[in-house]
């Protein structure tokens, strides 16, 4: 497939998801939108996996938990290698080690490789286990023959890899594999790649094995300035890693910590000269995101213009919208998320910034919904 000119990462995701559904190459669970898509022929594509020299040499292999990698997980277990699977959304740790019962048959191993099996036959692996991962398998929505990869947009695969680097589980030479349908292999504009994006060395499809020869550097650890307070609350292991890196003297300042730095439950305040933005009390889920793009500086005035975003899908997450805003270059100073009303409010520095954002966001889609993006009513009525 070829990407359209001037596309964003989200445009490419939607193009792949729509194509897989329309051409009926998608497989359960469907629809594949907002997922690492499963596809017909995934088990056939995975048959290339145990033939890779990197697989033969590996002792411990990390495989993502998504459906299209089920056969890859089976091959790891069937070859009596150690299988590590990331815990869902990293809520309870980083890895689970799959431990089949003694004398397990191939049928039991196949069951161990399913999502239910991962829950039933695994034990957590802590940060202090000194695990060393020899081979990494990630899911993809799109990937290029150069080894550039786009995931489903939540950033967990990139974060998992960065966390593995931070804990010493992988090195820059650890091979990375992805298993996709042929239609997911496409050109990806290099301008879309970011420093925290992982790349792949091997692409396995039902019809071929692609050795990318990618030389683009992979993440060398966690980019803390990309991590929000919201993510820290959801992923406890991040807090542990952050404490360790802070003690080692590394800069662990989080996204949007220009005013408040919460360390170990205590609050520090910024210098009096720093201008604090007012607390957004319209919803308890008010969130911030602008500083990651450098659009919020200490001395800026409080937001002076607000943009209404309506017709959000009922199953949309705030991270979906924030990612779409960044892709369109329209990141606000602050975002107010009102999921029950299927809407959000974007707060900008001035009316000109708000109008520019409205122009950038016209035609923006989340899932199958085209969003309504206009100046907020209270400002239109002024």
The pLDDT tens digits of the residues spanning 162-214 come to 888 888 889 888 999 999 999 999 999 988 888 888 899 999 999 999 999 98
116-172 pLDDT per residue, tens: 888 888 888 877 678 899 999 999 999 999 999 999 887 778 888 888 888 888 988
**At 333, is the secondary structure helix, strand, or coil?**
coil
**pLDDT value of position 285:** 34
- The alpha carbon of residue 149 and the mean position of all alpha carbons in its chain are separated, in whole angstroms, by 11
Contact 27, 42 (CB under 8 A): yes
Question: Model-level pTM?
Answer: 0.66
Q: Which two tokens stand for residue 310?
A: 């309506």
Among residues 222, 218, 274, 266, the alpha carbon closest in space to that of 246 is found at: 222
**At 335, is the secondary structure helix, strand, or coil?**
strand
Q: How far apart are CA 217 and CA 58, in angstroms?
A: 22
- Provide the angle, in degrees to the nearest 10, between the axes of the packed helices 318-327 and 9-22: 120
Buried (b) or exposed (e) across 43-65, using 16+ Cβ within 10 A? eebbebbbebebbeebebbbbbb
Contact 263, 279 (CB under 8 A): no
Q: How far apart are CA 244 and CA 231, in angstroms?
A: 17
- Domains of the chain from N-terminus onward: 9-211 (3.40.50.10420), 287-380 (3.30.70.330)
Q: How far apart are CA 114 and CA 67, in angstroms?
A: 8
């Amino acid at each position: 497939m070829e990407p359209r000119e001037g596309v964003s990462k989200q445009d490419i995701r939607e193009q792949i998801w729509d194509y897989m559904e329309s051409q009926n190459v998608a497989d359960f669970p469907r629809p594949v939108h907002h997922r690492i898509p499963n596809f017909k022929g995934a088990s056939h594509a995975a048959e290339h996996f145990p033939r890779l020299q990197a697989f033969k040499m590996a002792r411990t292999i990390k495989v993502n938990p998504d459906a299209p990698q089920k056969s890859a997980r089976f091959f790891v277990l069937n070859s009596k290698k150690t299988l590590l699977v990331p815990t869902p959304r990293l809520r309870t740790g980083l890895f689970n080690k799959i431990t089949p019962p003694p004398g397990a048959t191939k049928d039991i191993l196949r069951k161990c490789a399913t999502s239910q099996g991962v829950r039933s036959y695994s034990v957590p692996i802590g940060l202090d286990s000194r695990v060393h991962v020899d081979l990494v398998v990630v899911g993809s929505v799109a990937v290029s023959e150069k080894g550039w990869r786009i995931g489903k947009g939540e950033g967990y695969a990139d974060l998992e890899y960065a966390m593995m680097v931070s804990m010493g589980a992988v090195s820059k030479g650890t091979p990375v594999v992805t298993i996709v349908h042929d239609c997911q292999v496409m050109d990806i504009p290099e301008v879309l790649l970011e420093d925290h994006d992982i790349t792949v060395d091997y692409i396995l499809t039902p019809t071929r094995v692609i050795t990318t020869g990618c030389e683009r550097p992979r993440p060398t650890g966690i980019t803390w300035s990309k991590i929000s307070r919201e993510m820290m609350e959801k992923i406890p292991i991040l807090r542990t890693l952050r404490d360790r890196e802070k003690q080692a003297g590394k800069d662990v300042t989080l996204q949007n910590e220009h005013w408040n730095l919460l360390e170990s439950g205590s609050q520090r305040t910024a210098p009096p000269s720093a201008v604090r933005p007012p607390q957004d009390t319209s919803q308890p889920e008010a969130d911030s995101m602008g500083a990651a793009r450098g659009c919020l500086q200490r001395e800026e005035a409080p937001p002076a213009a607000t943009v209404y975003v309506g017709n959000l899908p009922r199953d949309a997450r705030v991270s979906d919208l924030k990612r779409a805003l960044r892709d369109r270059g329209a990141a606000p100073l602050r975002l107010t998320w009102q999921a029950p009303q299927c809407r959000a409010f974007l707060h900008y520095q001035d009316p000109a910034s708000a109008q520019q954002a409205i122009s950038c966001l016209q035609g923006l889609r989340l899932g199958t919904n085209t969003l309504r993006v206009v100046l907020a009513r209270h400002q239109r009525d002024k």
